[in-house]
Amino acid sequence: MNQGEKYQAIARFQDSYPDFAQFRELIQNAEVHEEKNATYLVLRPATDITSMKVGEEYQYHKEQKLVLVPLHIDNQ
């Protein structure tokens, strides 16, 4: 595959997923763990929600039973 074909493949991928740009920071910083036949995104609970790290930490909302994973934080 030459450079032009690689560029076109990447452009098609990005066009297929309109929100791709919002995940860029997460992808760049994320740690993955492979175990047997699965690959996992590794996140740890945020110790301080005012200074969370994209791709490393999450915030859990107990009342709503949901996990918030930051995709972008302006203070980084």
Spell out the domain ranges in the chain.
3-68
How far is 69 from 30, CA to CA, in rounded Å? 11
**pLDDT, tens only, 29-63:** 999 999 999 999 999 999 998 889 999 999 999 99
Q: Encoding tokens for residue 20?
A: 């791709």
Can you give the pTM of this predicted structure? Answer: 0.72
Task: Name the CA dihedral angle for 60, 62, 64, 70, rounded to a multiple of 10 degrees.
Answer: -10
43 and 54 in contact (C-beta within 8 Å)? no
Instruction: For residues 20-37, give the mean pLDDT.
Output: 92
